[in-house]
């Protein structure tokens, strides 16, 4: 377990002290893939570097399995760092060493026997799918391959924790997917605790089980990914999510004024969110059956998965006699799903069906 | 050309090589570690010790700012202390070495500074000690660049060694002055110039080649 308590980090800069982290507390359980998301300059890198003490917090404690790293001397820190692998956005491979030598590097540092090194490096290269590249230099590899070498190197000393600082930010979307898959496989096979720093909600959604949103050196929100996705509490979180979830209305409704009260010839718009089991329920069908007086139009729909849990979103418009519309809206709110009233909107006059 | 002159040329060339090679070796043995210290003891580096760093940088700058011809004469007592005499080829090596040390230190410093800090961080994250970082990260990563820089130092030393004639150091440069200039032998002057050019080209070529082969970037 990684436990950060009341971490503060102040950088002394020419223009005065800069508070990069302001009282950050986080608990990361064993086996978590814990995402930390924030905008540029939010303090993500500073935070993750506090976990292995590449950056010493100005105050607060960093505990790993109950041992406080802030109280350790350099020698103890070097020992514990062997238990914490780290990968970087810029890969940080030795350009003068081959793939094999890069992966062997941590083992060489701890004076491991060459025979054992060879076995270990071979199996790691196999794990990351780079065996044929053993003799090549990093400059001969693609970005994705370089990060695989970075991962193999980080795993060489059998760490229990893997820190990833923007590990996929320099990669294209497809390569990002393959690296994330590899990280998840490692998390499952080797029971590694993974901490992922990113500014992309997609990465969090694809691989993390828990997430912390950091904003200007403060943790704005934490929780399970599905919870934070479906019930974001903070504006900054909603902003990150909105990048992923386009819920654009059809052009006939776009840019129309939204009224909280019924309007003449208006549609009542509702945003429905289905999570897990209820994603399969035929709610719309029942809505129409039980409320014969109304028209229901589906304006937007999207089905996705977060953490293998089906997650559907829909925007519907209801039109009809006011009493029936209100009843339908009430009925929806009683169902096993999240129904959120957006408001009453008119179609564009010039819009055609 | 008479065989006398031939012998003279070979002897002078031998003296030049002797002076340059030995002083280069000794200066490297001292200058490279100093260059490493210049980088690693600076602020926020792995062996941070800013007071030491400032003093070292000060001394290095001071020695570098002394023109070689003056340095040679100024340290005569020291030279006598070290090699027992203040004239001759061996004596000339002392000022050559002293002049080369700060030169090398600065060049090595520049090379090592080019190693991205991310590599040091990666090594730190793997639990490397400062000594391991120097040995396994800084030196191998900067090696190609260090070789290029040292090539420049060697060429500088070949030039400086010509001045060593003033204290009886001998060598190609000395031959050029004594025969070519003072005894009005333009043929010898020409030959010494050609030899110097070839020597410098050769050093540059070999240096470039090794640096190129070592560079995996
Ligand atoms: N060594 C340093 N000295 C001074 N200020 C620093 C230092 N490192 C980071 N900062 C400052 O601390 C703040 C947080 O930086 P940090 O690198 O943690 O942000 P980040 O969230 O990782 O951003 P990015 O997404 O751009 O990497 C920034 O304002 C940054 O300028
Ligand atoms: Mg960062």
When the pLDDT of each residue in chain A is averaged and rounded to a whole number, the result is 91
Residue A57 has pLDDT above 70, yes or no: yes
Whole-number pLDDT of residue A123: 96
d(CA B142, CA B108) in angstroms, rounded, equals: 8
Cβ atoms B26, B33 nearer than 8 A? no
Of the pLDDT bands very low, low, confident and very high (cuts 50, 70, 90), residue A350 is low
CB proximity B114 to A under 8 Å: no
Is the CB–ligand 1 distance for residue A243 below 6 Å? no
Shortest-distance atom of ligand 1 to CA A42? 21
| The domain defined by B3-214 carries CATH number 1.10.3720.10 | yes
Highest mean pLDDT range out of A31-35, A244-248, A334-338?
A31-35
Is the CB–ligand 1 distance for residue A199 below 6 Å? yes
pLDDT digits (tens, 9 = 90+) for A293-314: 899 988 888 888 887 788 888 8
Q: How far is the CA of A50 from the centre of ligand 2 (A)?
A: 12
Among A1, A2, A3, A4, smallest CA distance to A22 is for A4
Nearest by CB to B127, from A81, A139, A153: name it: A81
Whole-number pLDDT of residue A309: 82
Nearest by CB to A81, from B125, B137, B140: name it: B125
Nearest by CB to B141, from A78, A94, A106: name it: A94
Alpha carbon of B61: minimum distance to chain A alpha carbons (Å): 27
Q: Domains plus CATH for chain A?
A: 2-244 (3.40.50.300), 266-346 (3.30.70.260)
Q: CB distance A54–B125 less than 8 Å?
A: yes
Chain B environment of A120 (Cβ under 8 Å):
none
Q: Whose CA is nearest to atom 1 of ligand 1?
A: A11
For an interface test with A, give the residue of B120, B125, B131 to mutate (most A CBs within 10 A): B125
d(CA A116, CA A95) in angstroms, rounded, equals: 24
Mutate to test the pocket of ligand 1, among A35, A37, A41 (most ligand atoms within 8 A of CB): A41
Ranges of chain B with pLDDT below 50: none
d(CA A233, CA A237) in angstroms, rounded, equals: 7
Which residues, including other chains, have CB under 8 Å from residue B194's CB and lie 6 or more apart? none
Is the CB–ligand 1 distance for residue A43 below 6 Å? yes
The chain B residue lying nearest A52, using CA atoms, is B125
Whole-number pLDDT of residue A130: 95
Whole-number pLDDT of residue A312: 84
- Residue that is written with structure tokens 């971490």 in the block: A7
Which of A:125-144 have CB within 8 Å of B?
137-139
CB proximity B136 to A under 8 Å: yes
Of the pLDDT bands very low, low, confident and very high (cuts 50, 70, 90), residue A32 is very high
d(CA B71, CA B18) in angstroms, rounded, equals: 20
Alpha carbon of A185: minimum distance to chain B alpha carbons (Å): 22
Is the CB–ligand 1 distance for residue A38 below 6 Å? yes
CB proximity A242 to B under 8 Å: no
- Residue that is written with structure tokens 């391959």 in the block: A145
Whole-number pLDDT of residue A178: 94
Chain B environment of A154 (Cβ under 8 Å):
126
Q: What are phi and psi of A191, to 5 degrees?
A: 50, 45
Q: How far is the CA of A199 from the centre of ligand 2 (A)?
A: 9
pTM of the model: 0.87
Q: CB distance A95–B125 less than 8 Å?
A: no
Chain A environment of B140 (Cβ under 8 Å):
94, 96-97
| Residue B109, strand partner residues | none
CB proximity A52 to B under 8 Å: yes
Residue A337 has pLDDT above 90, yes or no: no
Cβ atoms A151, A124 nearer than 8 A? no
For an interface test with B, give the residue of A84, A86, A92 to mutate (most B CBs within 10 A): A92
CB proximity B122 to A under 8 Å: yes
Residue range A150-167: average pLDDT? 96
Of the pLDDT bands very low, low, confident and very high (cuts 50, 70, 90), residue A50 is very high
Is the CB–ligand 1 distance for residue A42 below 6 Å? yes
Q: CB distance A81–B137 less than 8 Å?
A: no
Among A242, A164, A172, smallest CA distance to A208 is for A164
Whole-number pLDDT of residue A249: 76
DSSP letter assigned to residue A31: T
Identify which has the larger pLDDT, A323 or B35. B35
pLDDT digits (tens, 9 = 90+) for A63-111: 999 999 999 999 999 999 999 999 999 999 999 999 999 999 999 999 9
- What residue spans define the domains of chain B? 3-214
**Helix/strand/coil for A222:** strand
Is the CB–ligand 1 distance for residue A40 below 6 Å? yes
The chain B residue lying nearest A107, using CA atoms, is B126
Q: How far is the CA of A41 from the centre of ligand 2 (A)?
A: 7
d(CA B70, CA B63) in angstroms, rounded, equals: 11
| 3-state SS, one letter per residue, for chain B | CCHHHHHHHHHHHHHHHHHHHHHHHHHHHHHHHHHHHHHHCCCCCCCCCHHHHHHHHHHHHHHHCCCHHHHHHHCHHHHHHHHCCCCCHHHHHHHHHHHHHHHHHHHHHHHHHCCCHHHHHHHHHCCCCHHHHHHHHHHHHHHHHHHHHHHHHHHHHHHHHHHHHHHCCCCHHHHHHHHHHCCCCHHHHHHHHHHHHHHHHHHHHHHHHHHHHHCCC
Residue range A215-222: average pLDDT? 96
Burial (CB < 10 A; 0-12, 13-18, 19+), residue B67, is exposed
Q: What are phi and psi of A259, to 5 degrees?
A: -110, 140
Q: Whose CA is nearest to atom 7 of ligand 1?
A: A11
Residue A352 has pLDDT above 60, yes or no: no
Chain A environment of B139 (Cβ under 8 Å):
none
Residue A1 has pLDDT above 90, yes or no: yes
DSSP per-residue string spanning A75-120: HHHHHHHTTEEEEETT----TTS-HHHHHHHHHHHTT--HHHHHHH
Alpha carbon of B215: minimum distance to chain A alpha carbons (Å): 7
Q: CB distance B140–A94 less than 8 Å?
A: yes
Nearest by CB to A105, from B121, B126, B216: name it: B126
Whole-number pLDDT of residue A279: 66
HSE-CB of B53 using CA atoms within 13 angstroms: 16
d(CA B190, CA B196) in angstroms, rounded, equals: 10
Whole-number pLDDT of residue A349: 67
Of the pLDDT bands very low, low, confident and very high (cuts 50, 70, 90), residue A192 is very high
């Amino acid at each position: 377990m990684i436990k950060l308590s009341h971490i503060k980090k102040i950088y002394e800069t020419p223009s005065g002290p800069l508070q990069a982290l302001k009282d950050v507390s986080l608990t990361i359980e064993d086996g978590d893939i814990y995402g930390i998301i924030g905008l540029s300059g939010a303090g993500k890198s500073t935070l993750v570097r506090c976990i292995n003490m590449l950056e010493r917090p100005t105050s607060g404690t960093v505990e790993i399995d109950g041992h406080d790293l802030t109280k350790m001397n350099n020698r103890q820190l070097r020992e514990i760092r062997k238990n914490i692998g780290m990968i970087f956005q810029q890969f940080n491979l030795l350009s003068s060493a081959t793939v094999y030598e890069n992966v062997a590097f941590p083992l060489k540092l701890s004076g491991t026997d060459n025979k054992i090194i060879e076995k270990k490096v071979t199996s790691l290269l196999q794990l990351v799918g780079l065996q044929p590249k053993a003799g090549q230099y990093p400059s001969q590899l693609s970005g994705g391959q370089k990060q695989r070498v970075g991962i193999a190197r980080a795993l060489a000393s059998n760490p229990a924790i893997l820190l990833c600082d923007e590990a996929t930010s320099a990669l294209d979307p497809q390569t990002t997917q393959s690296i994330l898959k590899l990280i998840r496989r490692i998390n499952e096979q080797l029971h590694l605790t993974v901490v992922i720093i990113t500014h992309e909600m997609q990465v969090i959604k694809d691989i993390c089980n828990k997430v912390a949103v950091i904003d200007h050196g403060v943790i704005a929100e934490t929780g399970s990914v599905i919870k934070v996705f479906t019930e974001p509490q903070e504006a900054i979180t909603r902003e990150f999510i909105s990048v992923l979830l386009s819920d654009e209305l059809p052009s006939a409704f776009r840019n129309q004024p939204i009224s909280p009260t019924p309007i003449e010839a208006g549609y009542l718009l509702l945003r429905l969110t289905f999570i897990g089991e209820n994603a399969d329920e035929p709610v719309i069908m029942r809505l129409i059956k039980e409320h014969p007086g109304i028209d229901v139009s589906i304006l937007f729909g999207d089905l996705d998965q977060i953490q293998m849990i089906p997650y559907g979103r829909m925007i519907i418009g209801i039109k009809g006699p006011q009493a029936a519309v209100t009843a339908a809206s009430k009925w929806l709110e009683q169902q096993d799903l999240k129904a959120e009233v957006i408001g009453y909107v008119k179609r564009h006059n010039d819009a055609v069906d | 050309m008479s065989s006398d002159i031939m012998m003279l040329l070979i002897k002078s060339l031998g003296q030049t090589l002797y002076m340059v090679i030995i002083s280069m070796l000794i200066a490297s043995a001292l200058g490279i570690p100093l260059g490493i210290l210049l980088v690693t003891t600076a602020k926020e580096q792995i062996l941070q010790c800013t007071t030491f760093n400032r003093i070292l940088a000060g001394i290095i700058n001071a020695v570098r700012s002394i023109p070689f011809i003056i340095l040679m004469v100024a340290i005569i007592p020291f030279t006598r202390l070290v090699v027992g005499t203040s004239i001759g080829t061996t004596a000339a090596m002392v000022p050559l070495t002293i002049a080369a040390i700060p030169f090398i230190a600065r060049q090595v410093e520049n090379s090592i500074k080019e190693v991205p800090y991310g590599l040091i961080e990666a090594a730190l994250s793997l639990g490397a000690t400062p000594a391991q970082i120097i040995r396994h990260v800084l030196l191998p990563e900067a090696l190609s660049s260090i070789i290029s820089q040292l090539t420049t130092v060697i060429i500088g030393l070949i030039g400086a060694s010509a001045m060593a004639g003033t204290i009886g150091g001998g060598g190609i440069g000395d031959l050029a002055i004594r025969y070519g200039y003072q005894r009005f032998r333009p043929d010898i002057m020409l030959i010494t110039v050609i030899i110097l050019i070839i020597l410098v080209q050769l050093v540059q070529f070999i240096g470039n080649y090794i640096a190129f082969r070592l560079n995996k970037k």
